[in-house]
Structure 1
Amino acid sequence: MTTIKVVAEAPVRQPDPEMATLFHALSEPTRLEILTHLGSGEHRVRDLVEHLGLAQSTVSKHLACLRDCGLVAVRPQGRSSWFFLAAPELLSDLLDATDAFVRGTGIGPSLRTHHDEVDATIEGGA
């Protein structure tokens, strides 16, 4: 007689739109760099512009996305606005979990490969 071991699968949580928005915000390398830099403390837009070497409008656009997702908050002081991480501990936990996921799978996800496959599918008419 053969015994079959049945393992119950963990229920898969259905993502809500807020999760998709958060992951979209985190999917852009420049936004991740901004978050990393803000991890060292509050910064003004001009500080980030200088650090990143990007146009002020580009940095402002990325900060708006991060602020809209609740990752970054702003504190006005005089004529300046100081940006900071809204929940640094939670963000650190999320990034640590992401790192563990990538390392635990044994492969590094490649967005470039994914985009190439999607582009080839579209171009091939499939």
Structure 2
Amino acid sequence: MARPATVTDEPVALSDRELVARVFRTLGEARRLSIVEMLLERGEMSQSDLFRELGIPQSRASEHLQCLVWCGFLEVERRGKRLHYRIADPRTKTLLHLAYQFLRENQAAIGSCRTLDALPD
């Protein structure tokens, strides 16, 4: 199993800039980022292990996993009755490494940005 059947290869009517913003929005939610980091660290996890680690309702965790699969960050494989997740693209590790490096160099500014807190989600 890869992406949901509703994902197509046809282009979406969004600019590249809007699509790149969606990449960051996908990782811009703390629980989704946690999922990606757990899988980078462990390689692969079952759905039930992810639910247990996240400590959030199963339905909410499923939504986050579905988003990450849909957007190409994760792959999912069914083994019997269990679903197993892993990172789909090895560049994800580099992307997060660069983000954390950027954060280390700009932590005070990012942490004190009042504009981010004021913007609607």
Q: TM-score range by the shorter chain?
A: 0.7 to 0.9
Q: Supply the distance in 1 between the matched residues of 2:108 and 2:78 (Cα, whole angstroms).
A: 43
TM-score, normalised by the number of residues in structure 2: 0.74
TM-score, normalised by the number of residues in structure 1: 0.71
| 1:4-43 pair list within 5 angstroms | 15-39=16-40, 40-43=42-45
Task: List alignment gaps of at least 5 residues for structure 2.
Answer: 1-14
Larger Rg: 1
How far apart are 1:78 and its partner, in Å? 1.0
Task: List alignment gaps of at least 5 residues for structure 1.
Answer: 1-13, 120-126
Identity of aligned residues (%): 30
Return the match for 2:51 from 43, 49, 64. Answer: 49
Aligned residues: 105
| 1:108-119 pair list within 5 angstroms | 108-110=109-111, 113-118=114-119
Aligned to 1:73: 75
Opposite residue 93 of structure 1, the aligned amino acid is T
CA RMSD of aligned residues (A): 2.3
- Flag the 1:117–1:61 CA change in 2: closer, same or farther, 3 A: closer
Aligned to 1:30, what secondary structure does the other structure show? helix
